[in-house]
Amino acid sequence: MTLHVIVNKTLIIHEKKGVLYGYQKNLRENKMKKLVLALAALALTAGAAQAERYVMITHGEGKDPFWPVVQKGGEDAARHVGADFEYIFNPSGDMGDMAKSITAAAATQPDGIVVSLPDPDALGQAIKDAVAAGIPVITMNSGLESSKEVGALMHGGQPEFLAGQSAGARAKAEGATKGLCFIQEAYNTALNDRCNGYGEAVPIKLVDSSNDPATIPTRAAAGLQANPDVDAVLSVGPHVCVGVQQAIDELGMSVHHSCFDLSPPVMDMINAGKVKYTIDQQQRLQGYMPVIVLHLYNNHAGLLPGANIPSGPGFVDASNAANVSALAGIDR
């Protein structure tokens, strides 16, 4: 016979052998089980949070409005796949410093590195070392032609020479015959490709604009005054576009001005009819897609796209500027 007695909300079970089992003991056991399950869930959550970590390293100087959009793309992608994300930006533009950043990032053994490749000679060995250490690498933005050579899985970005050719062909069709190409990073192979591609249709001379928005108008004015016979100008960055247009306005010149990349001021100049068009390479896509691809590669048996991801070129001009303006400098 078993007697069930409830005393002060404690159930006591009395059996012949005198062994007492109580509700309190069961409660303690249930609490322990819940604690174990909670700790297990916490461990799984912590493990999941640490399972993937991606590092993005880009070049350029700190006042360039292009890169925050790339960074946002990477952050959005990491959030969408539940990964940790670290963005390293080299504000000095020094390629030696950038190579050291790649080496330092690789030493932390991330699950993948996304890196721009403006100078393959300076950065190639650091990337090769990361790949040799078993870290998957995707190049983006610049360095398409050297991506495979340094051991990257693939590249995300626009074919820059083709983009330059497209810009030049349109400029020629719109009446351009001789021009200047204002370039902010002379070491950057991608920017040189833009100028040289443009030059296939419109003869050009390269001019170092610097990367500092404060000095671009002065350098642009000097270049324009030294070449008064030009009727076309190509600016290969959004802040360069702004500074060069300022110089054009101050000099009272009338030239065909086209640019690369988006920013709110560039959109304003297109809407005002001062800039004919800008080449959109969709920099958010350049930040977003490599993280997604690395996630798929790491979690689906090496799954990769069948080719590089071309993010551009596309034209933004007066015909579509209204639709693009809200995204410029934020998500595009």
The pair of three-digit structure tokens given for residue 250, joined into one six-digit string: 């101050």
- CA 283, CA 261: separation in Å to the nearest integer? 8
Question: In the chain, where does DSSP find H-type helix?
Answer: 23-51, 67-81, 95-107, 120-132, 160-173, 189-199, 216-226, 238-251, 264-271, 283-299, 321-324
Question: In 153-272, where does DSSP find H-type helix?
Answer: 160-173, 189-199, 216-226, 238-251, 264-271
pTM check: above 0.85: no
Q: Which residues contact 22 (CB under 8 A, 6 or more apart)?
A: 10, 11, 12, 13
pLDDT at 51: 73
Residue 47: phi, psi to the nearest 5? -65, -40
Q: Tell me if domain 52-158+284-309 and domain 160-280 are identical in fold.
A: yes
Radius of gyration for the alpha carbons in the chain, expressed in angstroms and rounded: 29
pLDDT at 34: 53
Q: 160-280, superfamily in CATH?
A: Response regulator (3.40.50.2300)
Domain residue limits, the chain: 3-48, 52-158+284-309, 160-280
Q: 52-158+284-309, superfamily in CATH?
A: Response regulator (3.40.50.2300)
Q: Mean pLDDT of successive 10-residue segments in the chain (332 residues)?
A: 34 38 44 46 47 92 80 96 95 90 98 96 97 98 95 97 97 98 93 97 96 95 97 96 98 97 94 97 95 97 94 95 82 75
Task: Return the amino acid letter for 106.
Answer: A
Closest CA to 146 of 219, 137, 306: 137
The answer to whether residues 258 and 277 touch, using CB atoms and an 8 Å cutoff, is yes
Task: Return the amino acid letter for 135.
Answer: I
pLDDT at 325: 82
Half-sphere exposure at residue 104, Cβ-oriented, CA atoms within 13 angstroms: 11
